[in-house]
Every structure is written in C-alpha cells, then in structure tokens.
Structure 1
Amino acid sequence: MTMDIIPFSGKILCDEPLMLGEGATYDPATDIAWWFNIKGEALHELHLASGRKTVHPLPFLGSVLAVIDPDRQLIASDKGLFIRETASGKLSLLTTLEDIPANRSNDGRVHPSGSLWVSTMARDEAKGAGAIYHVARGTVTRLYAEVSIPNSICFSPDGSTGYFTDTAINHLMRVALDPATGLPAGEPTAISDETTTSGGIDGSVCDADGLIWNARYGSGAVDVYRPDGTKIARYTVPATQTTCPAFIGAKADRLLVTSSFQGMSDPQRAADPHAGKTFELGVTVKGRFEPAYLL
C-alpha cells in the first residue's frame, strides 16, 4: 500500500524552543494544552482561545500529566508520581515507581478505565534500564521490564487494546487489555517493524476511529497507522525531532505536536531553526479527550 505524504499546512503554536518538549495533553474543561520541557524541568501551559502562555518551573524532570479533577492533576517524574494542585502548583507525592536514581519517567497515557500506564528509562538511555508500569488508584504494577526507551503508549477507544514501543528496537507493539482495568490480557505482538526506516517511533495518540497518530523522532513527521500496523499517511512537521502529539480544541479535532533540540550541534540547530518548538498540524482529525486519572 502506498503511504500518502502530506506537506505541513499548520502553524507554530509556541515558538519557544525546548531541549525536550514532551508529554503533551489537553484539558477541554479549561481549554488548556499542557506539555513538558523534560530536561528544562518545566511544565508549559497554553490557553488556546486567548494564546496566554505560562511556564511553571518544576523541582524534578516531569514527563506525563493527567487530569484528576478540576482542581488537581497527576504528574509523573523522576521522583515519582505527584498530585499537583492546579491553581497553586503545590505538589504532594502519591507514590514512587522505582528506586533507581539513574532513571527518569518518560512516556505515559491514561487508559479509559482511569488507570495510568507510565514508563521509565535511564537518563543516559542505557540499554534495558527502563520499564512500563500500570498504576491504578496508587497501586503500581510493573508490566514490562528491560525497556530502553519506552514510548508510543496509547489505547483504543474501547480500552481493549494497548500500544507501545521501545524506540531502541523500533517495533510498534499491540497487546490485548482488560477494558475494565487496563491490565494486559495477553502477550504483546509487533504489528509494525520500523527498523529499516529512518527515525524512531516516539509518542502516540489513538483517535476515535482507532487510528494511531505517532510522532516520528528524527523524521520531522507524524505517521498514521491502522490498528493492524499498516501505515497509511505521513504528515510532515518543520522540526526534525518530533516527539509527542495531543488532540486539542473543543471538538478534539486539532493536533498539537511537540519537538526537541536535544543532542543537536550548533550547525544542526541552524539547519533546523524550528527544532524544539510546538506546532499545530493544521489538519482536521477525529480525536478524543484523555480520560481522567481515578484516585
């Protein structure tokens, strides 16, 4: 099957370049998009309608945000999972994930059941140092160990299927889940082998039709997959190191994409002037809102 390649027709949502923009999500109740600069220890907030931008310094390397209720959020970090009071920014520890100082949190999403899948990896990307965890009402269960760069965590609309990858291996994985809990109900299988193509599978979201929208790190693109792993489209993005998508807007019909300039030399950054900026893809999508995390 021929994959459609669609040139970028969107816009820059935020022109502040981030070393590692990641963990994008959106809260429809407040019309606010959230994302992290992981290595800059900061949480970025953008009110879509007004364009009001706020940057919240963090005392850790945050990478995943989930809404709990109108007053509270859950943040995953290298120090564990924290409850954040949205109005004040006050943080309180919910639980730790693992006692490995060399590791930090990475990718994660809330399952339709209200449980969280969240991952860890070595700060220096050491092989097999990370893991993927399931967190339900504060109870932590390790799902997959010896993962190097966990990414692409997302779920089918009905919660019966989960997707993830180890970017170091670059296979898109699919696993059957218990829709009521978000726990695996079978063994994962690879549905797309991306080892022979350029770039790495990074963050993903799954739309209302079950299509997987994946940020392709190193390729300046968002790729779209069917649930069977067939790649059907590539939307180009004017930053090589695209990292994480999120459905945004009142109808979840727009797509935000973060990016990164980590590891780039000065000449590489000069050749990639939008590296690290945050974009809107500029196409209409059939997105859906992230579920709330259930305490």
Structure 2
Amino acid sequence: MTARLIFDAQDMVGESLLWDDRRGRLVWIDIIGRRVHALDPVTGDHRLWPLPFRPTSISLREDGDAMLCSERHICRWNWQGEPVPLIEVEPDLPMNRLNEGAVGPDGALWVGSMHQNIGDDDSPKDIPGATGHIYRFAPDGHLRQMADDLYGIANTLVWPEPDLLVVADTLQNTLYQYRIGPDGLGPRAVFAAGLERGLPDGSTTDAAGRVWNARVVGGYALACLETDGRLAAYHDLPCSWPTSCAFGGAGLDRLFVTSARFTMNAEHLQTAPQEGGLFEVATTARGKPPNRFGQM
C-alpha cells in the first residue's frame, strides 16, 4: 500500500481539502459533520470548528480570511464565530444545493451546484436528474453562471493551465474541460471518461499540470491523469470513498486525501474503521501553491 492514515478524522463526508501555505496546515470540511478541520501534518496539532450549517467547500482569501460555502450561500469567515453570508446562489432553485468550490488563478471563487442529496436527518436522498451549474463569484461581488451545461453532481474545479478549467460530473463518471476566454467559457469537451475504479470526486493538480482525481464510491484510489486526460496510474488507498486531495507540506511534495463514511453500515465500519480518515499518499510529484480569493 502506498498510502497511510495520518489522522483518524472519522468524517461523514470529508471534503474540500487544501493547503494553507501561510499557516503551514491542511484545512478541510466535514459536510454532514458540520465542521471545519485544520491540521499541522508535522506537529499533529489539530483544530476543529463546529458550524451551524452543512458546509460544502472552503477556500482561502488573500487577506487571510476564508471563503466558506453553505448549501445555499457563499460566505466569508474569519476563522472564528459564524460565517457571514455574501450571496445566495440559485435562489430560484430551492431543490438544489452547492457542492464543489475552489478559487481559480483569476482570484475568483468558482462553485458548482447539484440537486440536494441529503435529507433533513442527514440521510442520503436520490438525485432525480442533472440540475447543477457552474458559477463564478468575483471579488467585486458579481455572481455569474458560466455555462448552460447541466451537472448531476458538479465536482472537481481545477486549472491544469490558467486558461483551462476541468470539472467533473460524478454521476456521469466524466471529467470535462473548458477553455477560458475573455468572454467566458468555450464549449464543453470530454477530458477523461469511463475510468473503471469508482467515480470522480475532488481533484488537485501538480506542478506538471497533471490532474489527481479522488475515485469515490468504491474506487479505493486516486487516478493520476496526464495533461491530455489519459490515465497515467492509479494510486491505491486504504479507504473506499476518497473525496478530495491536495499537495501540502513546506515543499508541496506531500499528497493528502480526505475520505467519507456516508452511507456505510456499522458492519463495514467495524472492519474498516479508517473510513472517513485523512491519508497521505507516497508520490514523487509536487503541487502548486493555493490560489486565494481576491489575489491579483
């Protein structure tokens, strides 16, 4: 096995992992657990912030605060107290919720939506169809829908190149790509489709522009994809539902992975108690510094 458990988070849905290079720590959320984690992977120092809502993504701001999304709102958070809502996304689509969110090279927050798949009691709900979209929230407060394409579960917002956006639809087992021009996104094209192990969840990119994709729903792996979308390799994991990944450490040469235990029964968790943990994967690749909201 090329991966090891480094923190037994027991997250229901660990997600949105990133490296805060200024504070030297990993940051991620637990959607159903309604909390934010921060972990120094060198010292093991861990902080936990409970939230009054289910978070869906977290990103860094240039001024040191965070962009924290709930199911309905994009918020600003100063790492203490309650996040401050800035704007509601899709107020005309109450059956939808936000999912993936990440800051792009342009300093804007990009977010994807999907049909609500979590019940009021935190139980799973069926998704009846593709109702999600991709949005861009600019530092000036302007929110724009970026494409007419529909997504069942909008996931993976990464930029292998400054003008190339890769987005996944988990339900379609497909990663798509868009060229970014002065007027917005070009036509959607397939980046990678039909990988055999699991389904695509969150991703990160390395310094060479390769995409590392967490293969959720029984994938037990990260898929490393070349710049043209070809599968380079699977990297095995000791968890069945890896959800997101990020390069971290002082040299951006350590690769970390969050996971989930959502929908898993007690019998499975007895035999696989590491589900929902934070893992480190052995690799020779290096990552890129995180983008920050409002950066120029």
Q: Same fold (TM over 0.5)?
A: yes
Q: What's the CA shift for 1:187?
A: 0.5
The residue that corresponds to 2:123 in the other structure is: none
Q: What's the CA shift for 1:283?
A: 2.3
My pick for the range that moved more, 275-284 or 18-27, is 275-284
- Secondary structure of the 2:162 match is coil
Q: Tell me, yes or no, if the aligned pair for 1:241 and 1:259 is still in contact at 8 Å.
A: yes
**In structure 2, C-alpha distance between the alignment counterparts of 1:82 and 1:110, rounded to whole Å:** 14
Alignment-mate amino acid for residue 211 of structure 1 = R
**In structure 2, C-alpha distance between the alignment counterparts of 1:191 and 1:21, rounded to whole Å:** 25
**In structure 1, C-alpha distance between the alignment counterparts of 2:157 and 2:76, rounded to whole Å:** 21
Q: What's the CA shift for 1:201?
A: 0.8
**Any unmatched runs of 5+ in structure 2?**
118-126
**Per-residue CA shift, 1:268-292, capped at 9, x if unaligned?**
2233321111111132322011111
Alignment-mate amino acid for residue 135 of structure 1 = F
- Secondary structure of the 1:23 match is strand
- Secondary structure of the 1:128 match is coil
The residue that corresponds to 1:49 in the other structure is: 42
The residue that corresponds to 2:235 in the other structure is: 235
**In structure 1, C-alpha distance between the alignment counterparts of 2:128 and 2:268, rounded to whole Å:** 24
Alignment-mate amino acid for residue 238 of structure 2 = P
The residue that corresponds to 1:20 in the other structure is: 13
- Secondary structure of the 1:147 match is coil
My pick for the range that moved more, 143-152 or 110-119, is 143-152
1:62-141 correspondence to structure 2 within 5 Å: 62-86=55-79, 88-99=80-91, 100-124=93-117, 125-137=127-139, 138-141=141-144
**In structure 2, C-alpha distance between the alignment counterparts of 1:284 and 1:55, rounded to whole Å:** 30
**In structure 2, C-alpha distance between the alignment counterparts of 1:140 and 1:190, rounded to whole Å:** 26
**In structure 1, C-alpha distance between the alignment counterparts of 2:64 and 2:172, rounded to whole Å:** 39
**Per-residue CA shift, 1:79-132, capped at 9, x if unaligned?**
31111013x344211111112343322112211110121111222233212221
- Secondary structure of the 1:168 match is helix
**In structure 2, C-alpha distance between the alignment counterparts of 1:172 and 1:16, rounded to whole Å:** 28
- How has the CA–CA distance of structure 1 residues 116 and 70 changed in structure 2, closer, same or farther, with 3 Å as cutoff? closer
The partner residue of 2:23 within 22, 25, 30 is: 30
**Any unmatched runs of 5+ in structure 1?**
1-6
Alignment-mate amino acid for residue 176 of structure 2 = M
The residue that corresponds to 2:199 in the other structure is: 200
**Per-residue CA shift, 1:148-206, capped at 9, x if unaligned?**
111121002x411110111111111111113x79x31x1011132216x2310110111
Alignment-mate amino acid for residue 83 of structure 2 = L
Alignment-mate amino acid for residue 205 of structure 2 = C
Q: Tell me, yes or no, if the aligned pair for 2:155 and 2:202 is still in contact at 8 Å.
A: yes
My pick for the range that moved more, 133-142 or 23-32, is 133-142
Percent identity, please: 28
The residue that corresponds to 1:3 in the other structure is: none
My pick for the range that moved more, 95-104 or 114-123, is 95-104
**Is 1:146 equivalent to 2:150 in the alignment?**
yes
**In structure 1, C-alpha distance between the alignment counterparts of 2:102 and 2:83, rounded to whole Å:** 20
Q: What's the CA shift for 1:238?
A: 0.3
TM-score normalised by structure 1 residue count:
0.90
Q: What's the CA shift for 1:134?
A: 1.2
Q: What's the CA shift for 1:70?
A: 4.7
The residue that corresponds to 1:163 in the other structure is: 166
Structure 1 segments, 4+ long, off by >6 Å, are: none
Q: Tell me, yes or no, if the aligned pair for 1:62 and 1:105 is still in contact at 8 Å.
A: no
The residue that corresponds to 2:179 in the other structure is: 176
Alignment-mate amino acid for residue 60 of structure 1 = F
Q: What's the CA shift for 1:58?
A: 1.0
Q: What's the CA shift for 1:11?
A: 2.5
**In structure 1, C-alpha distance between the alignment counterparts of 2:230 and 2:26, rounded to whole Å:** 29
TM-score normalised by structure 2 residue count:
0.90
**In structure 2, C-alpha distance between the alignment counterparts of 1:57 and 1:20, rounded to whole Å:** 14
